[in-house]
Amino acid sequence: MMGRGSHILPPKAVAIEKETPENERPSTFLRESDGDNHSLSSVRGRFEKMIRDAQDCVCQAIEAADGGGKFKEDVWSRPGGGGGISRVLQDGAVWEKAGVNVSVVYGVMPPEAYRAAKPASSTDSSSDLNHKPGPVPFFAAGISSVLHPKNPFAPTLHFNYRYFETDAPKDTPGAPRQWWFGGGTDLTPAYIFEEDVKHFHSVQKSACDKFDPSFYPRFKKWCDDYFYIKHRGERRGLGGIFFDDLNDYDQEMLLSFATECANSVVPAYLPIIEKRKDVPFTDRHKAWQQLRRGRYVEFNLVYDRGTTFGLKTGGRIESILVSLPLTARWEYDHQPEEGSEEWKLLDACINPKEWI
């Protein structure tokens, strides 16, 4: 779910302790030994509060839209600090599978992973470049969600917002303290309703424009490039925004920006669900949705940085794979008829469009 350069980490690269089930949600997953960083007024403390508030808000909206389904909640912790809350609503009236997870992770990153994650810059001194540091402790917190509706005319949504710090007690040669923000929200429909896609992208642009007019075009392209299924030559869906490794702006500004983006999830997505959740559909529509779900699985298991990071580092497997749909489909050499609604979706995934 989180981690810069996670796509290049070798197996067992990061030491993360096994989780312990808990009966109650703690007020914070931050460990007291963090000192000032344990404070609820610290960036760590405020980011954890933000993602937990966002989890509550999104889960309430998802349950309300379903009209009966309830989330199953698992709370877990780790002996050395950190933990998480995993919530899943499965096989409801509207949702096939909806997962909304938050986690706080403490781990140790080997120096080669840190170097790959943080390439040498022109400001690094020669002593920094020549010094080989030991393992680099890190802190990461994030919210990650994938929402798969049953109706093929209702789109899937993914969003993820995360904060990452190297946690060395002080700057050390070759491994200075560092922090990053990352995240994004993206839409994956099986059928295109232009007004839905325009609404979704307009909400993303509005959130971005409150902070920097360059954010939306930059992060929209980043999203199109990131969710690219190389072996298919197509995108997973119709995009949104995506950013990673952001630390070249003021830290407070980026914390506010991530908060604004997380708070935009419900207004961007739930109006579309309310409009499409009860639209009649046929077996053909469902089969196409299942084929597109297959593409979702392919991207997440082969390319997604968060999934591969979690699988390689001993993360909580049920939380990592909660993004996968309940059902999916693969047909041999399936080609939609040119000009069909299915073909229009595939064309938009191959050739990204400017929706607003």
Q: What is the DSSP letter of 41?
A: T
H helix or E strand, kind and range, residue 15:
none
Give the pair of three-digit tokens for residue 109: 């990153």
Closest residue by Cα to residue 264 from 159, 127, 142, 115: 159
Q: Is 74 exposed, middle or buried (0-12, 13-18, 19+ CB in 10 A)?
A: middle
Rounded CA gap, 138 and 164, in Å? 7
With contact defined as beta carbons under 8 Å apart, do 258 and 237 qualify?
no
> Buried b vs exposed e over 155-180: b needs ≥16 C-beta within 10 Å?
bbbbbbbbbbbbbbeeeeebbbebbb
Torsion of Cα atoms, 100 then 229 then 309 then 155, to 10°: 0
Classify the C-alpha dihedral 11-17-22-26 as positive or negative: negative
Cα 354 from Cα 113, distance rounded (Å): 36
> Which residues, at least 6 apart from 152, have a Cβ–Cβ distance to it below 8 Å?
190, 191, 281, 285, 286, 288, 289
CA pair distance 298, 283, nearest whole angstrom:
23
Nearest Cα residue to 31 out of 122, 134, 105, 99 = 105
CA dihedral (53, 143, 17, 8) in degrees, to 10, reads: -160
Catalytic pick among 148, 158, 199, 285:
158
Verify whether residue 334 is a known catalytic residue: no
| Under 8 Å between Cβ of 241 and 264 | no
What are the residue numbers of the active site?
158
